[in-house]
């Protein structure tokens, strides 16, 4: 049973099947929250922490997730059509079968995210998170732009109207020294 759909977010809150439209959740704490099947759009999750949250089968068309943290989030079948995910951290999230059509993923970090069957039609997939100092030993993480290239080059582009994206391994340290 979901709590009141007007409750202030807190870790572990259960808001399953709630409807939200034009709600401002800026910097909200949704760690391990249950947002399964929520619907609505044009919500603001800027700088929100959705680590480990369940957003499977949710609809948040045109919503803003700028600089939000969605690490390990369950977004299976989620519809984020036209969402702004600029600078979002989506590492280890499962977006299987969802939609990011026309979404803005500029500088989004999708390291180890599962993008199997995700619709990326018209999505903006450019930029990279800052890799840190030039002396950094670890190679930079795969980004939306490198993954988009992999999806079109290695997987034959659109499949049944959907792109399949496979992460491109980051360059080895020897490849980075050029």
CB distance 64 to 45 below 8 Å: yes
Residue 178 lies in a domain: no
The number of distinct structural domains making up the chain is 1
| Structural domain includes residue 135 | no
- For residue 74, is it left (φ>0), alpha (ψ between -120 and 50) or beta? beta
176 in a domain, yes or no?
no
The domain spanning residue 78 has which CATH number? Answer: 2.160.20.80
134 occurs within a structural domain: no
Q: How many whole angstroms separate alpha carbon 155 and alpha carbon 163? A: 8
CA–CA distance, 60 with 112 (Å, rounded to integer): 22
Inter-residue contact 34 to 17 (CB < 8 Å): no
Does residue 72 belong to any structural domain of this protein?
A: yes
Q: Which domain holds residue 107?
A: 1-128+141-171
The reply to whether 177 falls in a domain is no
Q: What is the pLDDT along the chain (178 residues), one digit of tens a residue?
A: 556 888 889 999 999 999 999 999 999 999 999 999 999 999 999 999 999 999 999 999 999 999 999 999 999 999 999 999 999 999 999 999 999 999 999 999 999 999 999 999 999 999 865 444 333 334 444 444 444 433 333 333 333 333 333 334 445 555 545 4
The verdict on pTM exceeding 0.85 is no
- Residue 34 main-chain phi, psi, to 5 deg: -100, 105
Q: Is residue 17 part of a domain?
A: yes
Is residue 158 in some structural domain? yes
């Amino acid at each position: 049973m979901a709590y009141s759909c007007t409750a202030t977010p807190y870790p572990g809150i259960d808001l399953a099947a709630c409807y939200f439209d034009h709600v401002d959740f800026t910097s909200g704490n949704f760690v391990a929250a249950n947002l399964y099947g929520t619907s609505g759009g044009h919500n603001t999750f800027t700088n929100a922490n959705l680590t480990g949250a369940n957003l499977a089968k949710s609809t948040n068309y045109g919503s803003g997730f700028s600089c939000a943290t969605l690490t390990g989030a369950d977004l299976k079948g989620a519809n984020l059509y036209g969402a702004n995910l600029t600078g979002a951290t989506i590492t280890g999230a499962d977006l299987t079968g969802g939609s990011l059509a026309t979404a803005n993923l500029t500088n989004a970090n999708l390291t180890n995210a599962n993008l199997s069957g995700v619709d990326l039609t018209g999505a903006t997939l450019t930029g990279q998170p800052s890799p840190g100092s030039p002396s950094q030993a670890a190679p930079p993480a795969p980004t939306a732009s490198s993954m988009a290239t992999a999806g079109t080059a290695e997987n034959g582009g659109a499949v049944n109207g959907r792109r399949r994206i496979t992460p491109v391994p980051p360059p080895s340290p020897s490849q980075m020294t050029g």
